[in-house]
């Protein structure tokens, strides 16, 4: 299986997304947008553990994003930070990486749709760990950790459902 690169915006941290492998990326500005203490702790821990890489998108990706939103009329609603985050996803995608953006922001999601970059929302995807969800495939019953970002089983392709579990360790 090709490894996935997760691009995280501020709403991912605010929604409770917790990076659990070294393939999570964001831009410097996002670290300033995350202000509440819980999200900030998650973010700082991820950086300390080496689970969150902070990088700048290249100029080419930034220009591509600006052209795209200009032609779609969304230019006023996407902040500079949002544009940079989308450019980061594009930047990684251009390096042949398997990218998915974690965001609850609809404007960002719409721009990603136009650019054909996959995304997932934290609040609707069951990846919010504090609730203690377990993800189980309806077909082969494989269990997934709660940061698995897709709706389909990677083994058999059946849909995955959420099961609430008692979280003794947390
Ligand atoms: Zn399955």
User: Domains of the chain: which residue ranges?
Assistant: 4-124, 127-164
Band (76; pLDDT cuts 50, 70, 90): low
pLDDT at 131: 46
Check pLDDT > 70 for residue 16.
yes
pLDDT at 164: 66
pLDDT at 126: 45
Check pLDDT > 60 for residue 147.
yes
Question: Could you read off the pLDDT of 18-60 as tens digits, one per residue?
Answer: 898 999 999 999 999 988 888 899 999 999 999 999 999 999 9
Band (89; pLDDT cuts 50, 70, 90): very high
Cα 157 to averaged position of ligand 1 atoms, centre (Å): 6
Helix (H) or strand (E) holding 29: helix 28-33
Band (105; pLDDT cuts 50, 70, 90): confident
Cα 145 to averaged position of ligand 1 atoms, centre (Å): 14
Band (163; pLDDT cuts 50, 70, 90): confident
* 8 Å CB contact between 101 and 25: no
Q: What is the DSSP string of 47-95?
A: HHTT-EEE-PPPHHHHHHHHHHHHHHT-TTTS-HHHHHHHHHHHHHHHT
Q: Which residue has the higher pLDDT, 8 or 131?
A: 8
Cα 18 to averaged position of ligand 1 atoms, centre (Å): 24
pLDDT at 133: 62
What residues have their beta carbon closer than 5 A to ion ligand 1? 137, 139-140, 142, 153, 155-156, 158
Check pLDDT > 50 for residue 117.
yes
Mean pLDDT value across residues 109-125:
84
Distance, CA of 144 to CA of 124 (rounded, Å): 16
Cα 110 to averaged position of ligand 1 atoms, centre (Å): 29
pLDDT at 149: 82
Cα 113 to averaged position of ligand 1 atoms, centre (Å): 27
Band (166; pLDDT cuts 50, 70, 90): low
Question: What is 4-124's CATH topology?
Answer: Rossmann fold (3.40.50)
The widest CA-to-CA distance across the chain, in whole angstroms, is: 51
Mean pLDDT value across residues 90-107:
91
């Amino acid at each position: 299986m090709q490894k996935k690169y997760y691009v995280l915006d501020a709403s991912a941290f605010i929604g409770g997304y917790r990076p659990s492998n070294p393939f999570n990326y964001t831009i410097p500005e996002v670290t300033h947008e995350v202000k509440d203490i819980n999200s900030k702790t998650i973010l700082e821990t991820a950086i300390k553990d080496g689970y969150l890489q902070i990088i700048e998108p290249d100029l080419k990706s930034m220009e591509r994003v600006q052209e795209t939103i200009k032609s779609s009329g969304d230019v006023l609603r996407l902040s500079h930070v949002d544009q940079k985050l989308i450019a980061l996803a594009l930047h990684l995608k251009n390096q042949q990486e398997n990218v998915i953006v974690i965001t609850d922001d609809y404007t960002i999601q719409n721009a990603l749709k136009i650019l054909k970059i996959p995304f997932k929302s934290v609040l609707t995807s069951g990846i919010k760990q504090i609730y203690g969800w377990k993800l189980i495939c309806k077909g082969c019953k494989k269990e997934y950790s709660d940061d698995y970002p897709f709706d389909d089983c990677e083994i058999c392709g059946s849909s995955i459902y959420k099961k609430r579990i008692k979280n003794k360790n947390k």
